[in-house]
Amino acid sequence: MTALPSFVSPAIESSGARFSSPESGAPFSVLVVEDQAVMRAALVTELHQAGVTQVLEAENGRSALALFRSERPDLVLLDIRLPGEDGYWVARQLREAEPGEWTPIIFLSGLDNDLDVWRGIEAGGDDYLVKPVKPIVLVAKLRAMRRLLDMRRRLVTVSAELHLANQKLNEMVELDALTGLVNRRGLDRMLHAEISAARREGKPLTLMLCDLDHFKRFNDTYGHIQGDECLRQVGRLLREVCVRPRDIAARYGGEEFALVLPNTPRSGSMTFARALGQMLKLLKIRPAGSDEEILLTLWRHHHLHPR
Ligand SMILES: [Mg+2]
């Protein structure tokens, strides 16, 4: 049994101050990384008394890291002087183990050493406590960190919601309301991206433009409601034939459509065009009470063959 260094208080006196009231609800867990059993036990006792729901204990850096990864505590109390890897190393590992996340780290420093504090913050720590730890200070720091943590979590939630709303808005702005196909704005952006990708990957890209024969006469004869229904049917068909995740079916203009087919050589696109023509014939798009069928004509074919 070796004697404890003189700066370690054999026990910390309880303050009776509570970190959170039992009715405040949300559980809170703290990982204590401290190699000296007496100091660790005192901290654990104080944390329990302060109302921390779960206290995890580690006596060296390696087991601290393992516990952190498996249990994801809400806060870490981290001794600087540890056998083997020191607290600075542990702090850096913890930060690397949670990209995009943030768990508060409070260093435990044996001496009131300014350099320790500096190095601790550099290594990714958020605050420090001088041993022997005064319970009232410990509880105050826990409360401050928890407040920051709660604020950050609210911010993350709001940011995620904003991101989703933005995505939804972008989709709405790039979709044609009548057919549900990508509109011209969306086509411009996606085509641009696919051309770059085709060049980068050295893969062929096909762009097919097509329109509906005599659509204006059709609209004049049978009315816009019938015309719109016809466009919707064509839209459904084009969506169905664009089965690969990166295929794009777009409504380019009034009765003009565009298909972007990545990684499709000329031969493949001819087969595709023939199949599309067949399907359209089978669909027999025609106004109610009429025999007049409407035909989709492929009028331009572009191929990009990057070398
Ligand atoms: Mg130590």
Model pLDDT for residues 16-40, shown as the tens digit of each residue = 667 664 445 678 999 999 999 999 9
Same domain, residue pair 189 and 223? yes
Q: How many CB atoms lie within 10 A of CB 44?
A: 18
Q: Give the number of residues written for the chain.
A: 307
Residue 209, in any domain of the structure: yes
Cα 144 to middle of ligand 1, angstroms: 24
Calculate how far, in angstroms, residue 40's C-alpha sits from the geometric centre of ligand 1.
Answer: 10
137 and 202 within one domain = no
Same domain (yes/no): 32, 87: yes
Residue 32 lies in a domain: yes
Q: Are the CB atoms for 248 and 198 separated by under 8 Å?
A: no
For residue 295, the model assigns a pLDDT of 65
Cα separation, 90 vs 77, whole angstroms: 11
Q: How many whole angstroms from 134 Cα to the centroid of ligand 1?
A: 17
Amino acid 275: pLDDT: 82
Residues 6+ apart with CB under 8 A from 252: 184, 187, 209, 258
- Considering only CA atoms, give the Rg of the chain: 33
pLDDT of residue 216: 82
- Residue 101 domain flag: yes
Residue 5 covered by a domain: no
Q: How far is the CA of 142 from the centre of ligand 1 (A)?
A: 20
Number of domains in the chain: 2
**Whether residue 211 sits in one domain with residue 143:** no
Q: Are residues 28 and 151 in the same domain?
A: yes
Quote the ligand 1 centre to 39 CA distance (angstroms): 9
Specify the pLDDT at position 141. 94
Rounded distance from Cα 17 to ligand 1 centre (Å): 25
150 and 195 in a common domain: no
Protein residues placing their CB within 5 Å of the ion ligand 1: 35, 79, 81
Q: Which residues face 304 on adjacent strands?
A: 205
CA of 108 to the centre of ligand 1 (A): 8
**How many whole angstroms from 82 Cα to the centroid of ligand 1?**
5
- CATH number, residue 140: 3.40.50.2300
Same domain, 189 and 126: no
Q: Are residues 155 and 27 in the same domain?
A: yes
| pLDDT reported for residue 288 | 66
Residues of the chain short of pLDDT 70, as ranges, are 1-17, 19-25, 111-112, 284, 286-290, 292-301, 306-307
Query: Residue 304: in which H helix or E strand, if any?
Result: strand 296-304
CA atoms of 193 and 100, how far apart (whole Å): 28
Beta bridge partners, 129, equal 108
Sheet holding 105-109, edge to edge: 54-58, 29-33, 75-79, 105-109, 127-130
Q: Answer yes or no: is 30 within a domain.
A: yes
Q: Is residue 240 part of a domain?
A: yes
pTM recorded for the entire structure: 0.56
CA of 89 to the centre of ligand 1 (A): 14
Return the pLDDT at 126: 94
In the prediction, which pLDDT does 16 show?
62
Same domain, 29 and 145: yes
- The pLDDT of residue 117: 84
CA of 258 to the centre of ligand 1 (A): 68
**Residue at a domain's end among 159, 176, 202:** 159
CA 98–ligand 1 middle distance (angstroms): 24
pLDDT value at residue 298: 63
Which two tokens mark 254? 């009034």
In a domain, 175, yes or no: no
Q: Say whether both 35 and 146 belong to one domain.
A: yes
Q: Which structural domain, as residue segments, surrounds residue 64?
A: 22-159
Q: Give 177 Cα–ligand 1 centroid separation in angstroms.
A: 65
